[in-house]
Structure 1
Amino acid sequence: MRFMLMVRATQDSEAGVMPSEAILTAMGKYNEELVKAGVLLAGEGLHPSSRGARVRFSGSQRTVIDGPFAETKELIAGFWLIQVKSLEEAIEWVKRCPNPFEGESDIEIRRVFEAEDFGAEFTPELREQEERLRAEVAARTTH
């Protein structure tokens, strides 16, 4: 099972305050543990929402909304994508994570959909397309 571990933004992360050397060192050590355990698929920090945008969909209309966005607690400051056997294992990995920020912070854990989760609507043709696209992406990232 794949899980997305999402680091919730804080006022400091949204203000562009960079992590301290101590936090970066602790995160580097944690990331090494994830890699050595063979569970890390990806992981990155994100720039503040002031450097981003949202695209709002309403029927066929598209509206671009420039950041920053007001609700800090709803924003993501970084993420890991891991592959483990269960939600419980994902929780155990998150509990081992150093605090991403000074003070309080939250990491949300969400399971990633797999092909079998979509049922009959995910036809053999759609499955083949998905597999082909994943193979193309994998080929690009290994070069």
Structure 2
Amino acid sequence: MPRFMGFVRMEEGGGMPPQALMDAMDVYIGEQAAKGVFLDGGGLFGTEDAVNFVVRAGEVTRVDGPYAEAKEVVGGWAIMQYDTVEEAVAGQQEFAELHATHWPECSMVATMRQIADGPPEA
């Protein structure tokens, strides 16, 4: 059964999500976990303590956060398992719609990508 990674990118410093979204996410994640779809996931703190290691021309450079030039940051992630790509896409859309309903002033991008356990599922 193919696994997928979902992640949310949003503008850093946009504030905490409203309690209505947190409550809706608890219900949604609980339902998905009960069905065996949601395997793991969580939110991420801001970039103030983030560390990047940049590799260029055979050299490694450490760059500590926060990153003033960053327009969007990854704010959360999830590992999910679906029978088909179509089900994964539908699940990610449902997740995005929860945000639109319960946090309409939020601007975010919800991305879903298949995990490379083997060849991509068609």
Which structure has more relative contact order (CA 8 Å, sep 6+)? It is 2
Say whether 1:72 aligns with 2:37: no
Deviation for aligned residue 1:59: 4.8
Across the aligned residues of Structure 1 and Structure 2, the Cα RMSD in angstroms comes to 1.8
- Number of the residue aligned with 1:123: none
What is the 5 A alignment of 1:1-143?
1-10=2-11, 14-15=12-13, 17-69=15-67, 70-73=69-72, 75-97=73-95, 98-99=98-99, 101-103=103-105, 104-114=107-117, 116-117=118-119
Q: What is the TM-score normalised by the length of structure 1?
A: 0.70
Q: Is the 8 A contact 2:6 2:79 kept in 1?
A: yes
Q: Share of identical aligned residues, percent?
A: 27
Deviations 1:65-110 (A, max 9, x none): 111222323x211011101122211111122221074423210111
User: Any stretches of 5+ residues in structure 2 without a counterpart?
Assistant: none
Q: Report how far residue 16 of structure 1 moved.
A: 6.8
Rg comparison, structure with higher value:
1
Task: Report the structure, 1 or 2, having the larger helix content.
Answer: 1
User: Between Structure 1 and Structure 2, which shows a larger proportion of strand residues?
Assistant: 2
Query: Cα gap change, 1:16/1:96 in structure 2, threshold over 3 Å: closer, same or farther?
Result: closer
Stretches of structure 1 that go unaligned for 5 or more consecutive residues are 118-143
The normalised TM-score by structure 2 is 0.81
Q: How many residues align?
A: 112
Note the C-alpha offset of 1:47. Answer: 0.7
